[in-house]
Amino acid sequence: MANNYTDTTLDQVRPVLLAGLKTDQKQNLDYELTELKNLALANNLQPVETFLQALDRPNPATYFGKGKVEELKVAVQTYDADLIVTNDELSPSQIRNLENETGATVVDRTGLILDIFAQRAQTKVAKLQVQLARLQYQLPRLRTSMSVSLDQQTGAGGAGFTSRGSGETKLEQSRRRLTNEMVAIKRDLGELQKDATIQSKKRQASELPTVALVGYTNAGKSTLMNQFLARFGQGAESDQSKQVFEKDMLFATLNTTIRQLTLPDKTKFLLSDTVGFVSKLPHHLVAAFESTLQEAAQADLLLQVVDISDDHYHDMMKTTEETLIRLGIKDKPMITLYNKADKAEWAFPIVDGDHITISAQDRESQDVVLDHIKKELFANMSEVTLHIPFADSRVVASILANHVLLDQDYDETGTTIRVALNPQEIEQHKQYLA
Ligand SMILES: Nc1nc2c(ncn2[C@@H]2O[C@H](COP(=O)(O)OP(=O)(O)OP(=O)(O)O)[C@@H](O)[C@H]2O)c(=O)[nH]1
Ligand SMILES: [Mg+2]
Q: What is the pLDDT of residues 119-178, one digit of tens each?
A: 989 889 889 999 999 999 988 887 644 444 333 333 344 444 444 555 567 888 889 999
Instruction: Spell out which residues line ligand 1, taking CB within 6 angstroms.
Output: 217-223, 246-248, 250-253, 276, 305, 339-340, 342-343, 359-361
pLDDT exceeds cutoff 60 at 216: yes
Q: Is 365:337 a contact under the CB 8 Å cutoff?
A: no
**Rg, Å, the chain Cα set:** 27
How sure is the predictor about 203, in pLDDT bands with cuts at 50, 70 and 90?
low
Q: What is the pLDDT of residue 370?
A: 97
The alpha carbon of residue 166 and the mean position of all alpha carbons in its chain are separated, in whole angstroms, by 42
Kindly list the strands in the beta sheet with 83-86, ordered across the sheet, starting from the edge strand earlier in the chain.
Answer: 45-54, 14-22, 83-86, 105-108
Q: What is the pLDDT of residues 77-87, one digit of tens each?
A: 999 998 999 99
Query: Which of 96, 90, 101, 178 shows the shortest CA–CA distance to 145?
Result: 96
Domain ranges of the chain: 14-119, 132-196, 207-377, 382-432
How sure is the predictor about 384, in pLDDT bands with cuts at 50, 70 and 90?
very high
Q: How far apart are CA 11 and CA 84, in angstroms?
A: 17
Q: What is the pLDDT of residues 280-294, one digit of tens each?
A: 888 888 888 887 888
Domain pair 14-119 / 207-377, same fold: yes
Residues 6+ apart with CB under 8 A from 373: 211, 269, 301, 303, 335
Q: Is 39:114 a contact under the CB 8 Å cutoff?
A: no
Q: What is the pLDDT of residue 276?
A: 93
Query: Which of 262, 270, 255 shows the shortest CA–CA distance to 202?
Result: 270
Query: Which of 78, 12, 77, 3 shows the shortest CA–CA distance to 44?
Result: 12
The alpha carbon of residue 334 and the mean position of all alpha carbons in its chain are separated, in whole angstroms, by 17
| Interval between CA 244 and ligand 1 midpoint (Å) | 12
Bigger pLDDT: 201 or 422? Answer: 422
Query: Helices 66-79 and 92-102, interaxial angle, to 10°?
Result: 60
Q: What is the pLDDT of residue 166?
A: 56
How sure is the predictor about 230, in pLDDT bands with cuts at 50, 70 and 90?
very high
| Interval between CA 360 and ligand 1 midpoint (Å) | 8
**Range in 138-147, 211-220, 280-289, 373-382 with the lowest mean pLDDT:** 138-147
| Interval between CA 273 and ligand 2 midpoint (Å) | 7
Q: What is the pLDDT of residues 92-106, one digit of tens each?
A: 999 999 999 999 999
Q: Whose CA is nearest to atom 3 of ligand 1?
A: 340
pTM: 0.83
pLDDT exceeds cutoff 90 at 338: yes
Q: Is residue 253 part of an annotated ligand binding site?
A: yes
Q: What is the pLDDT of residue 286?
A: 87
- Exposed, middle or buried, 412 (CB in 10 Å: 0-12/13-18/19+)? exposed
Q: What is the pLDDT of residue 130?
A: 92
Query: What integer best gives the mean pLDDT of the chain?
Result: 86
Q: What is the pLDDT of residue 256?
A: 87
Please give the CATH architecture assigned to the domain spanning 207-377. 3-Layer(aba) Sandwich (3.40)
Q: What is the pLDDT of residue 151?
A: 38
Q: Which ligand is nearest to the CA of 224?
A: 1
Percentage of the chain beyond pLDDT 90 is: 60
Q: What is the pLDDT of residue 194?
A: 81
Q: What is the pLDDT of residue 304?
A: 98
Q: How far apart are CA 102 and CA 63, in angstroms?
A: 13
Give the ipTM of the model, two decimals please. Answer: 0.99
Q: What is the pLDDT of residue 101?
A: 96
Q: Is residue 194 part of an annotated ligand binding site?
A: no
Q: Which atom of ligand 1 is nearest to the CA of 248?
A: 27
How sure is the predictor about 57, in pLDDT bands with cuts at 50, 70 and 90?
very high
Q: HEC string of the chain?
A: CCCECCCCCCCCCEEEEEEEEECCCCCCHHHHHHHHHHHHHHCCEEEEEEEEEECCCCECCCECCHHHHHHHHHHHHHHCCCEEEECCCCCHHHHHHHHHHHCCEEEEHHHHHHHHHHHHCCCHHHHHHHHHHHHHHHHHHHHHHHHHHHHHHHCCCCCCCCCCCHHHHHHHHHHHHHHHHHHHHHHHHHHHHHHHHHHHHHHHHCCCCEEEEEEECCCCHHHHHHHHHHHHCCHHHHCHHHCCCCCCCCCCCCCCEEEEEECCCCCEEEEEECCCECCCCCHHHHHHCHHHHCHHHHCCEEEEEEECCCCCHHHHHHHHHHHHHHCCCCCCCEEEEEECHHHHCCCCCEEECCEEECCCCCHHHHHHHHHHHHHHHCCCCEEEEEEEEHHHHHHHHHHHHHCCCCEEEECCCEEEEEEEECHHHHHHCHHHEC
The best mutation among 113, 222, 223 to test binding of ligand 1, ranked by most ligand atoms within 8 Å of the C-beta, falls on: 223
Q: Which atom of ligand 1 is nearest to the CA of 245?
A: 16
Q: Whose CA is nearest to atom 8 of ligand 1?
A: 220
pLDDT exceeds cutoff 60 at 231: yes
Q: Is 159:147 a contact under the CB 8 Å cutoff?
A: no
Question: What does CATH list as the number for 14-119?
Answer: 3.40.50.11060
Q: Is residue 276 part of an annotated ligand binding site?
A: yes
Q: How far apart are CA 183 and CA 205, in angstroms?
A: 32
Q: Which atom of ligand 1 is nearest to the CA of 276?
A: 25
Q: What is the pLDDT of residue 241?
A: 65
